[in-house]
Amino acid sequence: LEQRSRFAMTGIGFINELYGDEPLKRRQRRDARFLNTVFGMTLLGAGVADQLEDGRVLSGVGGQYNFVAQGHALHGGRSILLLRSWREAAGEVTSNLFWNYGHCTIPRHLRDIVVTEYGIADLRGQTDSEVIARLLAVSDSRFQQALIEQARQAGKLAKDFVLDARFADNTPARLEALKARHAQLFPEYPLGTDFTSEEQHLLRALNWLKGKFKLSEALELGKATLEAPGPQGYEAHLARMQLEQPQGLKEELYQRLLLAGLAAT
């Protein structure tokens, strides 16, 4: 009870809104930065974070809209939305930046700063055509041309628009090459971790396996499993997964799959 008295807990409405003692809140929140994630964004700057366009709800909005609005309402405030530029599901790779979408969480008039793995786009105060160009610059190059054509057809991009060549190689392969050249800048766990080295290797292997459980990867996974190395050198890994002495065909298959993943990563 004595320790609890040291915490000044307030309702979520106190954090999410400027209402109530607004002058003090404005003084306290000067130059505030509000970071939120979205899973998709239109080329006009509307963010999607809570619901698919077919009506399926993925999460609550929470305070995201409130924080974005504060980024515009506060002196020196900025809203920063982060997203991955592409996704893969069931073997299909699609862009998370699209021309339009049947739902939005953050409307386009609140567009501000957007960050993807390819860079930062400052959208505040820009025209629609400039917003589109800046978002194209941080999109994945596999989808840029199709997005450009859609924007042209809508009359939002000039017919002679050409994307700056600096942004025409936004690919996972280029990022992997950069990471390899500057490995010291990209530690796997930048804030540290309690995972042992074996557990870290297991996490990489299990993520690799997860990505292979789809029809388009079935042959590669089968080949990797058949060619998986023996357990020598992976005793600690197998013990951690309780597969050092597999019991029955099912566990033997699990062991082979795990060894294939460990060898691949």
pLDDT attached to residue 41: 98
pLDDT attached to residue 105: 96
pLDDT digits (tens, 9 = 90+) for 111-169: 999 999 999 999 999 999 999 999 999 999 999 999 999 999 999 999 999 999 999 99
CATH class of 4-181: alpha beta
pLDDT attached to residue 253: 86
pLDDT digits (tens, 9 = 90+) for 36-79: 999 999 999 999 999 999 999 999 888 899 999 999 999 999 99
97-98 sheet: strands from edge to edge: 47-48, 40-42, 97-98
pLDDT attached to residue 264: 86
The residue behind tokens 């939120």 is: 36
Cα–Cα distance, 167 to 75 (Å, whole number): 32
The whole-number average pLDDT for the span 11-38 is 90
Cα–Cα distance, 227 to 230 (Å, whole number): 9
DSSP of 219-234, one letter per residue? HHHHHHHHT---STT-
| pTM (two decimals) | 0.81
DSSP of 7-64, one letter per residue? -----HHHHH---SSHHHHHHHTTT-EEEEE-SEEETTS-EE-SB-TTS-B-S--TTH
Half-sphere exposure of 171 (CA within 13 A, CB side): 6
CATH 3.40.1080.20 intervals, the chain: 4-181
Query: In this model, does residue 104 exceed pLDDT 60?
Result: yes
Cα–Cα distance, 185 to 168 (Å, whole number): 24
- Report, in angstroms and rounded to the nearest whole number, the Rg of the chain calculated over CA atoms: 24
Query: In this model, does residue 223 exceed pLDDT 90?
Result: no
Q: How many other C-beta atoms can be found within 10 angstroms of the C-beta atom of residue 261?
A: 25
